[in-house]
Amino acid sequence: MLNFSKINILLIYLIFFFISIFSLLNFQSKETPILEKKVNLGLDLQGGSYLLLEINSDSLVKEKIQSKVIPIKKLLNENNLKYKDFQIEEKKLILNVSDLEKFELLFFSKKNNLVNSYIDIYRNFELDYNILDKNNIEILFSKYGLLNINNAALKQSIEIVRRRIDDVGTKEPTILQRGEKRILVELPGLKDPDRIKTLLGKTAQLNFRLVSENSEFGVDELISETGETLKISKRIVMSGENLVDAQPSIQNQQNEPTVSFTLDRLGAQKFGRATTDNVGKRLAIVLDGKIISAPNINEPITSGNGMISGNFTFQEATDLALLLRSGALPTPLNVVEERTVGPDLGEDSIKSGITSLIVGFILVIIFMFYKYRLFGLVANTALIANLLMLIGILTILEATLTLPGIAGIILTVGMAVDANVLIFERIREELKSEKSIIHAFDSGYSKAKITVLDANITTLIAAIILFAFGSGPVKGFAITLGIGIITTLFTAYFLARHLTSIIVLKNNGKNIKI
């Protein structure tokens, strides 16, 4: 155990120096960094905002149930099943069928892909129905169908929330799913939480619709930004799905902030055809049910580029462009919980954490030096190396350090010393019975290895479980503890053992006390 080849020694110190160098990157100049890597501070250390958002899928369920109208009618007609009084009510469809038994057989038929789907050997129905009275039936989404809608909406919402936050420039955001309908957003260092809340609270459903000059059937009355009430056709000329890009800009003549947008090929064709056929009419630009602009179509626009104006400030134009670029949310998001952590509280947490780490570190060093003298110095050297490697790995991973993470580092200090204490106490026992000092040290390391491994592996398993099932701060604690265990084993059984071997081999034949 005390014999090291030159290759082994080279590998040990190469690994140590390579990882430790990364820990120094946390002290480099922010203006001229050598490498863009560092340990990021979590919400509880540098302050910021915590938002818990919840999707409201009611409008999406209404939209989805309406999309089933034509397929269901087609299905009934193809199977010669007569129906009447077909109505759309909120989240369900109501109709009267001539043959209830035939409807039931058709509804749950294996060939009816509209209604059901298969997962392995289990049959899951997207739609369900209830018999009201006589032959009146209501069709609605089943629990499975609603779960699918919620899951799809939640995943899409998380992706769009991530795009919007990234576009703002917020660094190291945490965006996680919480349960079936909620999204956790942590934004460390955020200085303007109200702006983020405003951006995340808008679904950004954009569409272009013609302004109607008469009160024919099929119009909505909406109020524009200027307070003008306009009758808007229900027919959507083009939606925001056809936007490729949107950027804030300044109109040269009036020096007015606007939003310039670019359309994809299909959107350009739709827009070009609509503006060609309706020259002289007004085109309303509707965002989340509100008219933000209703300009006149002076000439056909076939280039696929356009401009939105609406008495914006430059900040409003920038935010609107951001919303359009990131895409529309499938459902509205409601803020169900909000917390703001001030930077002063974060600074106090950092000071308290660092103070406790330094005090604990100094006490451990003093104890080890007092208890084991020269070999205590070896253990202390390994302890410093352990911390450098731990911070180096966290830097490589660009991990986010939280207050529980600092607690994990402090615990690592104790566990690192514990490994050396077990080894040195075992060597003491071997020195009582062994005449050869080299053999006593070699045997001590060999026999203590199983105990040290058992103690650290069981703790590592606990850290893995905490990481797998925990969240937020618990995961931060688990990460630092898990990495700390690995660096502890490396420094105890490679670095400290090599330093011990140097002392023992140089003092062979002399009386060595431990």
Residues 6+ apart with CB under 8 A from 311: 225, 226, 256
Residue indicated by tokens 């085109």: 283
Closest CA to 49 of 168, 178, 176, 187: 187
The helix or strand, by DSSP H or E, that contains position 159, with its residue range, turns out to be helix 143-168
Three-state DSSP class for residue 381:
helix
pLDDT of residue 119: 37
111 has a pLDDT exceeding 60: no
CB atoms within 10 A of CB 399: 20
Assign 346 a pLDDT band (cuts: 50, 70, 90).
Answer: low
- 3-state secondary structure labels for all residues of 225-261: CCCCEEEEECCCCEEHHHEEEEEEEEECCCCEEEEEE
Quick one: tokens of 475?
Answer: 């995961």
CB atoms within 10 A of CB 58: 12
pLDDT of residue 108: 64
Q: How far is CA 473 from CA 31, 74, 480, in A?
A: 30, 53, 11
- Separation of first and last alpha carbons in the chain: 18
pLDDT digits (tens, 9 = 90+) for 10-48: 999 999 999 999 988 888 777 777 787 888 877 777 777
Quick one: tokens of 330?
Answer: 């499938």
- 3-state secondary structure labels for all residues of 43-99: HHHHCEEEEEEEECCHHHHHHHHHCCHHHHHHHHHHCCCCEEEEEEECCEEEEEECC
Q: Are 330 and 59 in contact (CB under 8 A)?
A: no
Q: How far is CA 499 from CA 2, 10, 484, in A?
A: 10, 13, 20
Closest CA to 173 of 196, 150, 207: 196
Quick one: tokens of 38?
Answer: 């560092």
CB atoms within 10 A of CB 88: 13
Assign 217 a pLDDT band (cuts: 50, 70, 90).
Answer: low
Q: Are 346 and 46 in contact (CB under 8 A)?
A: yes
pLDDT of residue 114: 53
- Separation between Cα atoms, residue 392 and residue 376, nearest integer Å: 24
pLDDT of residue 388: 92
The helix or strand, by DSSP H or E, that contains position 469, with its residue range, turns out to be helix 437-469
Q: What is the DSSP letter of 493?
A: I
C-alpha radius of gyration, the chain, whole number: 34
The predicted model scores a pTM of 0.67
Long-range contacts of 351-354 (CB under 8 A, 24+ apart): 353/45, 353/403, 353/406, 353/407, 353/410, 354/406
Residue indicated by tokens 């405003």: 198
153 has a pLDDT exceeding 60: yes
- Separation between Cα atoms, residue 289 and residue 332, nearest integer Å: 13
> What angle (nearest 5°) sits at the alpha carbon of residue 148, between those of residues 147 and 149?
90
Q: How far is CA 479 from CA 20, 67, 333, 459, in A?
A: 18, 46, 31, 12
The mean pLDDT value for 165-170 works out to 78
Q: Are 71 and 206 in contact (CB under 8 A)?
A: no
Q: At what angle do helices 343-396 and 6-23 cross, to 10 degrees?
A: 150
> What angle (nearest 5°) sits at the alpha carbon of residue 34, between those of residues 33 and 38?
70
Which range (26-30, 119-123, 217-221, 357-361) has the least confidence? 119-123
pLDDT digits (tens, 9 = 90+) for 112-151: 555 544 333 334 578 888 888 878 888 888 888 888 888 8
Compute φ and ψ for 435, nearest 5 degrees.
-85, -35
Residue indicated by tokens 């129906």: 83
Q: Are 75 and 90 in contact (CB under 8 A)?
A: no
- Separation between Cα atoms, residue 205 and residue 20, nearest integer Å: 50
Closest CA to 416 of 428, 405, 408: 408
User: Within the chain, how many helices (H) and strands (E) appear?
Assistant: 14, 21
pLDDT of residue 386: 92
Amino acid at 102: K
The mean pLDDT value for 314-331 works out to 85
Residue indicated by tokens 């089943």: 142
pLDDT of residue 122: 39
- Separation between Cα atoms, residue 205 and residue 240, nearest integer Å: 7
Which range (250-259, 343-352, 406-415) has the least confidence? 343-352
Quick one: tokens of 446?
Answer: 């060999």
